[in-house]
Amino acid sequence: MKGWKLIIILALLVIIAIISYSKFIMVIKEKDELARSVDLIKAEVARLESEKETITLELQKEVQLREQAVTDKQAVATELETTKAKLSQLSRVESQIGPLQKMIDDLQKGNLVLKQDKETLAVRLDEISKEKASLEARMHSLNELRRQIREVKKELWEQKVEKWHQESIIPDGNRGFVVKNGMATYRPKVKIEVISAP
């Protein structure tokens, strides 16, 4: 029996060794599979990290584009408000242009009338200047004529006085008397009395 025990123990040892060996091989296979799985997972993680970086970059670009779009939208909104304000101001200016244009037209008509009046006045001034020159010439000759007439009258008077002295004729008149033949030859005196009011 000792031999059988030994065989059984050996058989058991062999079976344990086979089972251990098979478990060892299985563990090695599992280890290899786990190593391959880890490599695959690492590769997958690396790929996912790469994709994550790509997606992160794309997301950042998208965020930047959205921020740029928001900024552009705000700029367009501001420009639109500015344009609306300018259009409103332009419409107000256009509404003021009509009356201003009418005023300009009226002023131009008035200016045209004033130019015509100026031309008429210039012609009239020219006529008056000519008339003035003519009157001055006539006045000059009238003054000259009056001087000549005075000189002639003076000469005639001197001749008449000379003739009176020669003929000893005393001209008619009051001969210097204030009263002649009881009649006043001098103009009558007017007496003015002032009476104060009560």
- Segment holding 53, helix H or strand E: helix 2-167
CA angle 34, 36, 37 (to 5 degrees): 60
Residues 6 or more apart in contact with residue 185 via CB below 8 angstroms = 174, 177, 178, 179
Average pLDDT rounded to a whole number, residues 85-102: 82
Higher pLDDT, residue 189 or 64: 64
For 79-141, give the DSSP string. HHHHHHHHHHHHHHHHHHHHHHHHHHHHHHHHHHHHHHHHHHHHHHHHHHHHHHHHHHHHHHH
Residue 183 reports pLDDT greater than 70 = no
Name the residue among 101, 121, 97 with its Cα closest to residue 109. Answer: 101
Structure token digits, residue 176: 């210097």
CA–CA gap between residue 17 and residue 24 (Å, rounded): 10
* 34-86 pLDDT per residue, tens: 888 888 888 888 888 888 899 999 999 999 998 998 898 899 889 989 988 88
The whole-model pTM stands at 0.34
